[in-house]
Amino acid sequence: MTFEERFWRKVDREGPIVAGMETRCWTWTGHRYTNGYGCVTLASGENRRRGLAHRVAMQLSGIEPGAMMVCHRCDNPPCCNPAHLFLGTAADNMRDCIVKGRASRGETHAAIQRAHVRRGDEHWSRREPGRVKRGEERSRKLTAADVVEIRALRAEGHKLREIGLRFGICDATVCNIARGKTWLPPAALDEGPATVVLSPFAGVGSEVYAAVAAGRKGVGIELKPSYYKQMAKNVQAAGELDDPDQVRMFGATP
């Protein structure tokens, strides 16, 4: 049986008709993440990899979501009916979530609960980016593949707690990995001075910072303007730019 056949065998096309929809939801009957989204095994064994069922459903219907999020018109997380799915940005998804009343507001909002934490430029990781750990310790629990998966899950909007439980790490660690503040595969710094360190989820630029501080070159990619600007500041502080060619950055809003 092909992957596609096995996938659709786990989908019940006789799901509910949700208010506002004209056709039935196709319910994922396999394992679900705690937020209700279907969880599909993409590869087993040592290279174990799991993904979101509705995202795979869209791919199997011939649309490759790439960096976009796959959202539900029917607001029914396990639904895999391609006709109920659409592509959106994280911002679209958040707006949709607020419209549908799923977002926290008021006192339960995370920003209010954590108002006492120093934020933005006041946060120690921005004032002293060299102190940010990047996963060099021997106690490291994660593999490079885990980090890629964590960033993908976070980009899909999964909760920090949920991802943390799956990988046995705390919420703050998940957050730092997702934002690119931590975790540099150690090999990248051990490959000698000629190597350029690529930081595809650069965040505030701690990997590029570490590379430049070690006399190397770094290439950082970050799409969120506020992180990108902070990365530029951090990296300039690292090299003081005696060699401008040491630092190269790509971003949505340079």
Per CB under 5 A, residues contacting Zn ion are 25, 74, 76, 79, 81, 84
The residue type of 2 is: T
Decide whether 79 or 197 has the Cβ nearer to Zn ion: 79
CA distances from 150 to 19, 105, 163 (A): 33, 26, 7
What would the two tokens of residue 29 be?
A: 């009957």
Question: Min. distance of Cβ 163 from Zn ion in angstroms?
Answer: 24
**Cβ atoms 75, 100 nearer than 8 A:** yes
Decide whether 26 or 209 has the Cβ nearer to Zn ion: 26
Decide whether 15 or 218 has the Cβ nearer to Zn ion: 15
Q: Give the separation between CA 70 and CA 90, rounded to whole angstroms.
A: 9
The residue type of 25 is: C
Decide whether 71 or 177 has the Cβ nearer to Zn ion: 71
Q: Give the separation between CA 125 and CA 89, rounded to whole angstroms.
A: 28
Question: Min. distance of Cβ 157 from Zn ion in angstroms?
Answer: 17
Question: Min. distance of Cβ 91 from Zn ion in angstroms?
Answer: 22
Q: Give the separation between CA 241 and CA 108, rounded to whole angstroms.
A: 44
Question: Min. distance of Cβ 19 from Zn ion in angstroms?
Answer: 11
Decide whether 55 or 181 has the Cβ nearer to Zn ion: 55
247 three-state secondary structure:
strand
Torsion of CA 108, 111, 116, 122, to 10 degrees: 170
Decide whether 36 or 225 has the Cβ nearer to Zn ion: 36
Question: Min. distance of Cβ 72 from Zn ion in angstroms?
Answer: 6
Q: Give the separation between CA 235 and CA 254, rounded to whole angstroms.
A: 14
Question: Min. distance of Cβ 70 from Zn ion in angstroms?
Answer: 12
